[in-house]
């Protein structure tokens, strides 16, 4: 069943490429020189790094780190991967409940109307089970959108509202999921 969700996520993420047209600079026909420049292969200036982070301290302590690496496939389309680490401690229980959650995801984002984001993501998290302490993998298929604002040069901040279409009770976040993050283009 996990393989089925993974395949659906990949198909959904990559089928969007058929919907995008190619824009030309000006009204000129493409030349061999322009075509060769576009097909250079990997270009470091298309790499974006960033992520999300959060913290809460008190009776319930949470530290969340989510570094992200993306690659601009087209001017408006980014695909990438991220890692997740979440430390949670709840002192309302005796002994205190502690959980270390880690995992990763693949994602794709499409930017439209200059600053708006359409986002899809397939995530697998390894979660400690509360009752007997076993660890299990939990899948999430997140879809949603948001807003991106340029901070300066190649830097930006974004806010997104996401929904997990796989409503697993062991998934650590509840719908809607609100993410605030940042990115820097290399």
* Cis peptide bond prior to 95, omega within 30° of 0: yes
Q: What pLDDT is attached to residue 157?
A: 93
Q: Is 21 helix (H, G, I), strand (E, B) or coil?
A: coil
pLDDT digits (tens, 9 = 90+) for 57-92: 899 898 999 999 999 999 999 999 999 999 989 899
CA–chain centroid gap for 2, Å, is: 19
Model confidence at 52, pLDDT cuts 50, 70, 90, reads confident
In a domain, 36, yes or no: no
In a domain, 21, yes or no: no
DSSP annotation of 165 reads S
Contact predicate 124/91, CB 8 Å? no
Give the domain range for residue 175. 2-16+46-185
Mean per-residue pLDDT, 5-34? 40
Q: What pLDDT is attached to residue 161?
A: 95
Distance CA 119, CA 176 (A): 14
Closest CA to 123 of 104, 109, 110, 137: 104
Q: Which long-range contacts (CB under 8 A, 24 or more apart) does 143-146 make?
A: 143/119, 144/119, 144/176, 144/177, 145/116, 145/117, 145/118, 145/119, 146/116, 146/117, 146/119, 146/179
Count of CB atoms situated within 10 Å of the CB of 107: 19
In a domain, 100, yes or no: yes
In a domain, 26, yes or no: no
In a domain, 35, yes or no: no
In a domain, 137, yes or no: yes
Whether 33 has a pLDDT exceeding 60, the answer reads: no
Q: Which residue has the higher pLDDT, 133 or 149?
A: 149
Both tokens assigned to 117: 């984001």
Q: What pLDDT is attached to residue 108?
A: 97
- Minimum mean pLDDT among 20-34, 54-68, 138-152: which range? 20-34
Whether 36 has a pLDDT exceeding 60, the answer reads: no
Domain count, the chain: 1
Tokens 């409940």 -> residue = 97
| CATH code for the domain of 152 | 2.40.160.20
């Amino acid at each position: 069943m996990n393989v089925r969700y993974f395949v659906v996520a990949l198909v959904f993420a990559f089928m969007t490429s058929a919907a995008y047209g190619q824009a030309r600079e000006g009204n000129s026909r493409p030349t061999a020189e322009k075509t060769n420049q576009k097909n250079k292969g990997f270009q470091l200036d298309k790499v974006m790094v960033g992520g999300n982070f959060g913290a809460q301290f008190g009776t319930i302590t949470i530290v969340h780190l989510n570094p992200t690496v993306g690659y601009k496939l087209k001017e408006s389309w980014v695909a990438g991967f991220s890692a997740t680490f979440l430390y949670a401690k709840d002192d309302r229980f005796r002994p205190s409940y502690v959980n270390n959650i880690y995992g990763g995801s693949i994602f794709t984002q499409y930017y439209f109307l200059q600053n708006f984001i359409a986002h899809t993501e397939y995530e697998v998290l390894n979660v400690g089970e509360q009752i007997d302490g076993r660890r299990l993998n939990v899948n999430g298929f997140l879809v949603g959108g948001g807003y991106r604002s340029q901070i300066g040069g190649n830097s930006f901040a974004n806010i997104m509202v996401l929904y997990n279409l796989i409503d697993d009770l062991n998934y650590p976040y509840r719908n809607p999921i609100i993410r605030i993050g940042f990115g820097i283009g290399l």
